[in-house]
Amino acid sequence: MVFSDIYKETMRFVKASDYYFFDDDYFFNLLENLQEKILLITAYQDDKAIGSSIYTLCQESGIMQFHLGGTLNAYTHLQPSNLSLMSLAIGDERTVMKCYILVAALAPI
């Protein structure tokens, strides 16, 4: 799974604890069970996926929240997560929300 590979590379890079290394079933279950409430954005350079982010959507409350994401180490200088944020800004009716929660942290801020 493309997202899982990118995410796990990021977790290894930041030396995350085992707690953050979700198995592929976790990601498949998110996509399968939340369907219309999940947005997966993947950034590519040429034909290579270099960064990917998962957002949860709640149309009822108008809240979109960053859930998990990652960038391949060799492509961090391209900042693909910023590209995913730009695609949200351009967006469509599904991503127009009242509130965007975009904070991600491995440790308390």
Sequence-separated contacts (24+) of 77-81 with Cβ below 8 Å:
78/43, 78/45, 78/50, 78/51, 80/43, 80/50, 80/51, 80/52, 81/43, 81/51, 81/53
**pLDDT score for 74:** 96
- Is 0.75 topped by the overall pTM? yes
3-state secondary structure of 17: coil
Domain 2-101 matching CATH 3.40.630.30: the answer reads: yes
> Over the chain (109 residues), what is each successive 10-residue block's mean pLDDT?
95 93 94 91 95 90 89 94 75 70 60
Please answer whether residues 7 and 47 qualify as being in contact, where contact means their C-beta atoms are separated by less than 8 angstroms: no
